[in-house]
Amino acid sequence: MSTKTLPITIPPIIGYTVHAYPLTVAFSSQKCLPWFYSNYIQMISNTEYDGVFLDFLTLCNILNGGKWVDFLFPGIPWLKCCPVGDFIITKCNLDIHSLITNALNENNYVVIFLDEFYIPNRRTYQKSNFYHENFIFGYDTAEKTYDILGFDERRLFNSGKVSYHELEQGFKSNHLTDPEAASIKLLKLDTTFSYELDLQFIRDSLLDYVNSQNTCNLQNIVRNPMKKCVYGLNTYHELIRYFELLYDNSIRYDIRPIHILWEHKKTMLLRIEYLSKMYPEAGFNEVYEQYIVIEQKCLSLRQALIKYSISKQPSHIKNIIATLKFVSEMEREILNQLIYKIQPLIV
């Protein structure tokens, strides 16, 4: 009988698992912070609201829709990713429990699609079939349980336990529905990689964000540019248009875009705090104090939208639209100050 639990640190960005799971692995080492704060600045929004429409513009984001992106988590240099395809699992007759426990023994985190009808503490548990990625980071052979990370029944990103039997049921159900999605990703922290804080890249990315520049073409080496998208501060216009449609009952309620907006502000605030610690004489504390207002207002937007989901009072939507207009202009001014303070530090 044995146990194994890999370390996890919940990252600032968890709204979509395409960010949450690889960053959970990366954040298990503080060495990732210079890389993280040099990235996750630019934003992208699709102008056609077909499902999710707002995300961080990274190589791996929710909008591109490419299965290879979802499968390999590109653009996360802290990861060694080993995909285990369905044909390997089925043709080689691999035991799912042996695969997972041996992977964990070699310090690999396991990302696996499961039918959450069979997974306790999930919103659809014993109610309906829902196929979603989950994250395994430990096991206990005596209790026959796994340590699992994902969105619970309250839609909070939490860890919990799942039995061997429940996981096997969830995996088999998903496999029967979509064999391609039955593939498993093994994620391992690459401790040999290093990255220094890149002030020039931070400044350039901030300029792209403030000026709403289309920076998607920087990824043309691996894919065609995404169409019908806007970038940077212009993503506020799409959020406002979404809430105008929601006010008219012309679109379905979805908290994810406003949650991602708040995560962007939370991450930006953490970035400014990090810069102030790295360069205490540069005056970043002044910018930090101003940007707290941005982060708090965006958090209040999230709370207002939750209230709307309960009360259906249109006044909540009107207030959200007004606040978005105010925040977008305020953020432009504060980030221009941040760019100005970064400029002298670039060698």
CA 208, 213, 218: angle at the middle one, nearest 5?
85
Q: Phi/psi zone of residue 302: left (φ > 0), alpha (ψ -120 to 50 degrees), beta?
A: alpha
**Which residues share a beta bridge with 161?**
147
The confidence score (pLDDT) of residue 93 equals 83
Which H or E element spans position 260?
A: helix 256-278
**Which residues share a beta bridge with 162?**
146
Domain boundaries, the chain: 3-38+79-189, 199-345
The confidence score (pLDDT) of residue 67 equals 47
The confidence score (pLDDT) of residue 100 equals 97
Euclidean distance between the first and the last CA atom of the chain, given in angstroms as a whole number = 56
The confidence score (pLDDT) of residue 217 equals 72
The confidence score (pLDDT) of residue 87 equals 77
For 78-131, the DSSP string reads TEEEEEE-HHHHHHTT--HHHHHHHHHHTT-EEEEEEEGGGSTTSTTTTT---E
Rounded CA gap, 46 and 232, in Å?
A: 12
CA dihedral angle for residue 94, residue 99, residue 101, residue 104, rounded to 10 degrees: 170
The confidence score (pLDDT) of residue 215 equals 85
Q: Could you tell me the pTM of the whole model?
A: 0.93
CATH number for the domain whose boundaries are 3-38+79-189: 3.90.70
**pLDDT, averaged in runs of 10, over the chain (347 residues):** 92 94 95 96 88 83 55 76 83 90 97 94 94 95 97 94 96 73 85 95 98 80 76 96 95 94 98 98 97 98 95 96 98 98 94
The confidence score (pLDDT) of residue 316 equals 96
The confidence score (pLDDT) of residue 218 equals 67
Q: At what angle do helices 199-210 and 314-342 cross, to 10 degrees?
A: 140
The confidence score (pLDDT) of residue 219 equals 66
**Which residues share a beta bridge with 138?**
5, 147
Using the structure block, give the residue that is written with the tokens 């548990």. Answer: 125
CB 239 within 8 A of CB 254: no
The confidence score (pLDDT) of residue 63 equals 67
Q: Strand, helix or coil at 5?
A: strand
108's CB contacts (< 8 A; 6+ apart) are: 82, 186, 187, 188
Please, what's the b/e burial string for 211-225 (b: 16 or more CB within 10 A of its CB; e: otherwise)?
Answer: ebbbbbeebeeeeee
Rounded CA gap, 178 and 83, in Å?
A: 16
Residue 185, CA distances (Å) to 11, 181, 233, 293 in order: 19, 11, 34, 39
